[in-house]
A and B are shown apart, each in its own frame.
Chain A
Amino acid sequence: MSRRVAGIDVGGTFTDLLLQDADGTVRIAKVPTTSANQADGVLAAIEAAGGDPAALDLIIHGTTATTNAVLERKLAKVGLITTAGFRDVLELGRRTRPHPYGLTGSFEPLVPRELRREVVERMDARGNVLTPLDEAAVEREVRALLEAGCEALVIHFLHAYANPVHEQRAGEIARMIWPNPYVTLGHELLSEFREYERGTTASVNAAVQPVLDRYLHRLQAKLAEAGHRRDLLVMNGNGGTVPARLVAKEAAKTVMSGPASGVMAAAATLAQSGLSNAITYDMGGTSTDVALIAGGVPEVSAELSIAYGLPIHLPMVDVRTVGAGGGSIAGLDRAGMLRVGPESAGSMPGPICYGRGGTRPTITDANLVLGRLDPERLLAVKDPVPMARIRDAFAREIGDPLGLSVEQAAEAAIRLANVHMTGAIRMVSLSRGHDPRDFVLFAFGGAGPLHAVALAREIGIPEVLVPARPGLTNALGCLVADLRQDLVNTLNRGLDDIPEEEIATTLSAQRERGLTTVLAERGEVEEAVVLHSAEMQFRGQTHLIRVALPRPDVSRAEVQAAFEAAYFARFRIRMPEIRAVLVNLNTSVIGKRRPFSLAGLLPPGDGDALVGERAVYADGAWHQAKVWQRERLAPGARIAGPAILQQADATTVLEPGSEAVVDSIGNLRIRVRA
């Protein structure tokens, strides 16, 4: 069936687009993100690709509107109504500090204290009503918050996950008074125990709802002006999409959607390449995102935080951010010890090569010194790169004090940065019991392919995969993403105490709710897939292990066996002495869209790809490396390192001893020297 579909991802710096035409050909665009109104950039991207909004059958959109709103605290004014005695839960948190050492740092809750109001009501942990809801107080406090200028409202009661009737009743009262739909009930978004995390998640939702709603209205109005009047699909942090008209209700789910779409693109690419295990590695200017895909499925976590004190406990693709990127600063500490990071030049002033006033050498600068990056082809830089100043900085800060040449200093900086990144990658992925030899390193983002081969060698991963369009991976994630609904219910009881019917009833009800939402998009969905899982622990533990369940009517023995197997796989310990606890039951309903063939991402290469040679410094010596234009490589082409593969959106460095092969869908498959 011939359809025109566009995946559009708005990132911090660039807005990326992949447009699939009716005949299957793909067009791309990369335009600057318009931070004042992201919608302008979206329209500009469609235009840059020569697309016509009116002719598009579907737009799938990833936005950082909510992420930025939270990080920059440009949020809606939110009021909170909560159980008497507990209005400070959101401010007190769980007794932490921002850093293990040093007693500094501060935290402001999303809802200031004067907008947190209490009403008399109380449930116990089993969901029995101890004190009935004071309905008059609810009405009074809702009016007071409206009077105080609140735009969104959160109702968050203790133990509402066990019995939501008070939240529901308070919600009814509030919705009669509240002038807009921005009323979030804590249990509706997340029916899980832990009052701080659930309340914070609800507050994030309320605080970004109006922001997201306004943005999507602006965008849809612009698209309508240009003739596109269909509903959008919007990317969520769980790696699935939701129709735009529904997304604002659970707006918190979009907060970490950017990194998730990159991982979904990786999963789709792996599937079409016949692979199933990867560590995804997306290195940018200030940070690096890492995720694990095992058995073709991205790991999911419901315990991520967007910033200090702001946990968002919704199921999301488990992407971990490491504070190291191209802007990490290299130098010597007060004792003459070589260091890279944790300081970063960020984007202002940025690396020296940006010419924005940076004076301290960074990893990006080191890549230029070593010939790994071409100073003529830097995406974010307009002026000529001041190579002399960069070399001076490496000599001054590292080379002269240590008696190293400029090149040796730059190579040392990159080697140490790679070691730090290796450690961080191990912590978030392999320390969970996986063997690196079973994985490929899936490298994307502007800087991922620059470092991937060296990193893989350091970690012990035998193969690197650089996809066809490493700089457009998030937009690809939009294009390939399915619709998705995740549902969670807390039981938190010993497995032996839970009747098998209760497990079946809970999972079946979740299934029905998810299917109703997903199948409403019949036009887009080819098939609905339902996945059930349980989150479990041994009695007395606090960490949860996620266990897949084959169907709702599972026996307790099956659940127990699956849990024990998962536990052993992770920790190599068996615990026959101790009882298992079933904490949460989960269902994900995935509405599968038509598959998108990745083979069209790069035009078929004409084979005339060799564009020159340049000197690249590696392993302590200059090598003459061939430079190849990636897009022109034909499938089956083999390139031996040292070599540089350049393309519009990224540069791949093949270290000496490594070898790349272009596979049938345009991926670079790089065998790493052991």
Chain B
Amino acid sequence: MSEPDALTLAVIQAGLQQVCNEMDIAFSRSAFSPVIAEADDRSDGIYGAEDGALIAQGELGLPVFVGTMAHSAAHLVRLIREGRVAKPEAGDIYIVNDPYLGGTHLMDVRFARPVFVEGPGGSSLFCWLQNTGHWPDIGGMVPGGFSAHATEVEQEGLRLPPVKLFKRGELDTEILAIIQSNIRVAEQRIGDIKAQAAALLVGEQRLREMLDRYGAATLNAAIVGIRARAAERMRAEIRRIPDGVYRSEAFVDSDGVVNQPLRIALAITKRGDRLTFDLSGSSPPCQGPMNSVWATTCSAIYLGVKHVFPYVPINAGTFEPLEVIRPEGTFLDARYPRPVSGCAAEVSQRIAEAVFLALAQAIPDELWAAPAGTSGNFALGGFDPARNAGYVMYQITGGGYGGNAGEDGLTNGCSTIGISKTAPVEVMEQYYPVLFRRFAIHEGSGGAGRRRGGFGVHYEVELLRGEAKASFVMDHGRFGPPGVLGGLPGAPNVVRLHRDGGTTVPEHLSKDQGLRLKAGDRVEVMTPGGGGYGDPGTRERALVARDVARGYYTRDQAERLFGPFA
């Protein structure tokens, strides 16, 4: 069938996008876990029947899933074709969380539902609807799944290959029972499972309206056309970048087991209308959970590019002009059984940072210095004697964004790969036996520059009752987020434990687990500031003076970083 006219193409693109957006909304609004309902740690999309290629994805989804879900769909299609996974029937929903099959970490659980159309030759598969939701627990050695010390994936939790959780519309209670026997706070998961499945049903209903209106042939022809336009749009953006090779590096503090930094070495080659990403000089696979699987590494590059060119729509065509060379033999292409719990939240942000730092050399007017780039995961698990109940508390935090050509960086911006809000102090104190002593700006943390970085957060929390264990998976503790064009780095991440009148710092600075706390002990965290953009000496003096008046920097700090001011 020939390509539909320009209007039909645009209308169908908007319609497919709308299907995905409505799935996103339906999932969040009915989900139980705050991590999905409030933090929107989920994504919904439509994928090709034959190859799992991305057709459309919700605009309200978590950025890190922008590339992973197509990988996951492609694996599912392949496994079905190879006869290793049962063939789809109407009403089925597959569940899978295997990181090595197009995933991230085990907590990100994918549901996939086939959509069939009736034709003259009988029923045929039209596409897949798929979503990913971050479950608050998936079993494993620490509550929440962010182990800092795991050395193999089995320690990180329950790993599911693609299996049918719903068969012809019916929930398989036997598989559900296996899952519930292997995860914590299992009774609430049924709420998330129903929400995740219901979102796909909403998507199918909306997609059927489009199928009824346009017919499968027109929709398919439009999908091909939309994909070609997205590719062309991305090529047009790329053509504006000067030809050349742009190199950058970024460092993960450590893998949580061996205390030495992991290096990400990136070379972006721009030639004509293509960008090639070469990570081959990066560190070898690591013992601890800071390995990244291939799907997540790709996705991190895609989301970095999407941040730079935010208006390009997302489908398989968008990423056609981007060639990512598979970095075999490095920690960015983890194979079974390497532990991977840190890849989605932390390593992916370092990869995106390398993309920003390389492109900042090529098109500096459109880029920014490095953002804080850590999700700031702090988990506290313990027993509250006053309520006679166990609990797991998660605190996530943002940090400063890098300065850019026109503005200072944002303060307490969300992680690069996320869009999730943090919980209010008043909510944390209602649910958990803790008291925040402060929740403040991390003073002095914004990297100096003509446009300075934004500031990180400085909080301090005290355990009020009982005993608990603290775990951390953060980053940028060793080096602060770099500046660009002469800007200075933002302040690094700091974790301190105040116990028994003494103060200690975790050996790996930003990663540790199982640190014992008792009532009266305190945990203090200072998250990174963003990097500075441009020479700090050229910053407008009135702005330096204003920043001092606001107490963002001390007078001495400001003179040292920015030079003399009135």
Contact = CB atoms under 8 A, between A and B. Distances in A.
Interface of A: 84-89, 91-107, 112-114, 122, 124-125, 130, 158-159, 161, 193-197, 333-339, 402, 404, 412, 415-416, 419-420, 422-423, 426-427, 431, 492, 538-543, 570-573, 575, 577-578
B297 interface: no
Given A337-B233, A571-B195, 12 more contacts: A91-B411, A98-B410, A101-B306, A124-B435, A125-B426, A336-B6, A337-B6, A338-B10, A339-B10, A538-B32, A541-B34, A575-B194
Nearest to B408: A106
B21 A427 contact: yes
Given A88-B440, A92-B457, A538-B191, A193 B11 contact: no
A101 B310 contact: yes
30 contacts: A85-B440, A88-B439, A88-B440, A89-B425, A94-B424, A95-B412, A95-B420, A95-B422, A96-B398, A96-B413, A96-B414, A97-B413, A100-B419, A103-B402, A103-B404, A104-B368, A104-B404, A122-B435, A124-B435, A125-B429, A158-B425, A335-B229, A336-B229, A423-B21, A539-B188, A540-B188, A542-B38, A543-B28, A573-B30, A578-B32
Contacts of A334: 232-233, 236-237
Nearest to A196: B424
Interface in B210-230: 226, 229-230
B63 interface: yes
B183 to A, nearest CB: 14
A95 B21 contact: no
A107 B396 CA distance: 21
B178 interface: no
A573 B196 CA distance: 12
Interface of B: 6-7, 9-11, 13-15, 17-18, 21-22, 25-26, 28-34, 37-38, 59-60, 63, 187-188, 190-191, 194-195, 198, 226, 229-233, 235-237, 306-308, 310-311, 356, 368, 371, 396-398, 401-402, 404, 406-414, 416, 419-422, 424-427, 429-430, 435-441, 457, 460, 549-552
A105 B407 contact: yes
B410 A159 contact: no
A103 B416 contact: yes
Contacts of B421: 94-96
Contacts of B22: 426-427, 431
Most chain B CB within a 10 A radius of its CB, from A334, A404, A577: A334
Contacts of A98: 410
B438 A85 contact: yes
Contacts of B460: 85
Contacts of A197: 424
Nearest to A99: B310
Given A195-B425, A336-B232, A419-B15, A104 B407 contact: yes
Given A423-B14, A540-B32, A541-B37, A193 B404 contact: no
Contacts of A88: 439-441
Contacts of B422: 94-95
A99 B416 CA distance: 11
Most chain B CB within a 10 A radius of its CB, from A92, A161, A420: A92
Contacts of B236: 334-335
Contacts of A85: 436-440, 460
Contacts of A99: 310
Given A101-B307, A113-B550, A159-B429, A91 B435 contact: no
B224 to A, nearest CB: 14
A575 B438 CA distance: 38
Contacts of A570: 29-30
Contacts of B398: 95-96
Given A101-B310, A195-B424, A578-B188, A86 B404 contact: no
Contacts of B15: 419, 423
Contact of A415 (B7, B229, B230, B404): B7
A573 B414 CA distance: 31
A416 B30 contact: no
B548 to A, nearest CB: 10
A245 B416 CA distance: 48
Contacts of B63: 100-101
B235 to A, nearest CB: 8
Given A86-B439, A113-B552, A540-B191, A125 B430 contact: yes
B59 to A, nearest CB: 7
A78 to B, nearest CB: 15
B547 to A, nearest CB: 9
B190 A577 contact: yes
Contacts of A333: 229, 233, 311
A415 B11 contact: yes
A102 B437 CA distance: 33
A89 B435 CA distance: 16
Contacts of B37: 541-543
List the 7 shortest-distance A-B pairs measured between CB atoms, nearest first. A85-B438, A334-B236, A335-B232, A95-B398, A101-B310, A335-B233, A94-B421
Contacts of A427: 18, 21-22, 25
Nearest to A542: B38
Contacts of A335: 229-233, 235-236
B424 A193 contact: yes
Nearest to B136: A540
Contact of A194 (B31, B34, B427, B436): B427
A86 B438 contact: yes
A543 B29 contact: yes
A122 B435 CA distance: 10
B550 A416 contact: no
B550 A112 contact: yes
Nearest to A95: B398
Contacts of B371: 103
Contacts of A159: 426, 429
A95 B413 contact: yes
A103 B307 contact: yes
Given A195-B424, A578-B187, A416 B408 contact: no
Given A426-B22, A540-B188, A540-B191, A492 B7 contact: no
Contacts of A124: 429, 435
Contact of A104 (B38, B406, B439): B406
A575 B229 contact: no
Most chain B CB within a 10 A radius of its CB, from A86, A106, A130, A426: A106
A337 B12 CA distance: 12
Contacts of A100: 59-60, 63, 310, 419
Nearest to A122: B435
B361 to A, nearest CB: 17
Contacts of A419: 10-11, 14-15
Contact of B368 (A91, A103, A575, A578): A103
B17 A402 contact: no
Given A101-B306, A113-B552, A114-B549, A92 B233 contact: no
Most chain B CB within a 10 A radius of its CB, from A93, A101, A404: A101
A96 B412 CA distance: 7
Most chain B CB within a 10 A radius of its CB, from A113, A195, A335, A423: A335
Nearest to A112: B550
Most chain B CB within a 10 A radius of its CB, from A102, A124, A426, A538: A102
A102 B235 CA distance: 19
Contacts of A539: 188
Most chain B CB within a 10 A radius of its CB, from A89, A93, A539: A93
Contacts of A420: 14
Contact of B26 (A87, A104, A337, A431): A431
A92 B552 contact: no
Contacts of A336: 6, 229, 232
A572 B198 contact: yes
Most chain A CB within a 10 A radius of its CB, from B10, B190, B226, B412: B10
B401 to A, nearest CB: 5
A84 B60 CA distance: 36
A416 B10 contact: yes
Contact of A97 (B9, B407, B410): B410
